[in-house]
């Protein structure tokens, strides 16, 4: 296990909160691809030492995500115990709903309008 608490990549910043929830923020309006999904999953594993942890995703300013990226998140969902997608505009809401309803991840996943509600829900998945 590593002591890293925050990891930044070309298109994202990911950090661990004191309550055990991991957060990720995408660089605004930049489309993300399979390579980005792989990098984010590796970063998640590094932050948590490989243990599944709850993840809060700030999607409001995120750009569109490719199908390959979505499928990679579904394929590697063992790195998360639950996912909260915080949305804030029509684009992010559509992408979040698309991921939930079309890509159909099996882990608990919900869409939220604000961080606090998302965190309250996610804390139930901290182990």
Partner 1 sequence: MNDTNCGGTSSDYEKRLEDIIDVIQDLAALRFDARAHVGLAGDHIDAVAAGVNSLGEELQASYEELERRVAERTAELAVATEELKRQASRDYLTGLPNRVALWEHMERVIGSVEGATPGIAVLFLDLDDFKKVNDTYGHAAGDDLLVKAADRIVSELGPHDIAARVGGDEFVVVLGAVESELGALATARRIGKRLSAAFDYAGHTYATTSSVGVAIAAPHLRGADALVAAADAAMYEAKRAGRGRCVLYRERRPAVTQVLTH
Q: Which residues bind partner 1 (CB under 8 A)?
A: 29, 31, 60-61, 63-64, 66-67, 89-95, 98, 102
List the one residue out of 17, 78, 67, 11 whose CA is nearest residue 39: 11
For the CB of residue 71, give the shortest distance to partner 1 in the complex, in Å. 8
User: Which of 28/124 has CB closer to partner 1?
Assistant: 28
Between CA 38 and CA 31 the distance in angstroms is 14
Task: Report the chain's terminal Cα–Cα distance, integer Å.
Answer: 16
Cβ partners under 8 Å of residue 57, min gap 6 = 23, 24, 83, 84, 85, 86
Helix (H, G, I), strand (E, B) or coil at 9: coil
User: Which of 81/92 has CB closer to partner 1?
Assistant: 92
User: Which of 98/121 has CB closer to partner 1?
Assistant: 98
User: Which of 104/127 has CB closer to partner 1?
Assistant: 104
For the CB of residue 58, give the shortest distance to partner 1 in the complex, in Å. 13
For the CB of residue 33, give the shortest distance to partner 1 in the complex, in Å. 12
């Amino acid at each position: 296990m590593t002591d890293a608490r925050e990891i930044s990549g070309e298109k994202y910043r990911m950090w661990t909160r004191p309550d055990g929830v991991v957060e990720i923020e995408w660089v605004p309006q930049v489309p993300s691809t399979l390579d980005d999904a792989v990098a984010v999953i590796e970063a998640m594993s590094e932050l948590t030492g490989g243990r599944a942890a709850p993840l809060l995703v700030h999607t409001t300013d995120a750009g569109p995500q490719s199908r390959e990226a979505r499928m990679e998140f579904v394929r590697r969902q063992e790195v998360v115990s639950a996912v909260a997608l915080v949305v804030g505009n029509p684009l992010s809401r559509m992408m979040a709903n698309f991921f939930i309803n079309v890509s159909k991840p099996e882990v608990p996943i919900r869409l939220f309008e604000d961080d606090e509600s998302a965190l309250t829900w996610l804390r139930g998945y901290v182990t």
